[in-house]
Homo-oligomer: A and B are copies of this chain.
Amino acid sequence: MNDPLHQAALQLRQHIDQFVALSDEEWQGLEPHLSIVHLKKNQFIATQGVVAGQVGFVLEGVFRQFYTKDGEERTTYFFFDQQLIAAYMSCITARPSPVNIEALSDATCLVFPYAVLKALFSQYAGWQEFGRLFAEYIMVALEERMAGLLMLSPEERYLALLEGDQRHLLQRVPQHYIATYLGITPVSMSRIRNRIIPK
């Protein structure tokens, strides 16, 4: 019995159960394909221009997903413990990933091939439903993110971050990454902080 792997697998199953309750048989479709990967700080688990084929589940560590353009980086998401992580657009479309995903700390992930998940979608009703619910979940998150970028000023976005579910993010991630996450420069964010805090 591979104990740490099994332990991790249980955590993943628990996470997936928040979307759908899988039968043991359905779960057995995935479990044999799981493995554990250790990553060092600054290591990439997805690279721009490369078709992504792996899905991960963060056991420990912090990650950022970001675009680059003309040497500039814009962070689109942060990933923490107990979260599924993947260049999901690339998996779905089977096209080269537009984004990179980088570990911001030493990290441990459970990983499995997207191809396995895709096969499970067509094989088991439970997995197919998970696929829908998971996509819907991401969709809602993206909609809210887009609405924030479209509706709020940089200052309002920073305030929203301070007061939102993601508050913990500020303690665990360098500020210049957060700045690009908010669609502004680190310098500008520093000014905003200055404008806000005194009040």
Contacts and interface: CB of A to CB of B under 8 A. Distances in A.
Copy count, this protein chain: 2
A147 B92 contact: no
Chain A interface extent, by class: 20 to 34
A149 B147 contact: no
A41 interface: no
A92 B146 contact: no
Contact of A67 (B92, B129, B147): B147
Q: Which of A69, A98, A131, A146 has the most CB of B within 10 A?
A: A146
Interface in A115-153: 121-122, 125, 128-129, 131-132, 135-136, 138-140, 142-143, 145-147, 149-151
5 contacts: A67-B147, A74-B151, A89-B139, A138-B139, A146-B149
The 8 A-B pairs at the shortest CB distance, nearest first, are namely: A135-B135, A132-B132, A142-B142, A131-B132, A149-B149, A139-B139, A135-B136, A146-B146
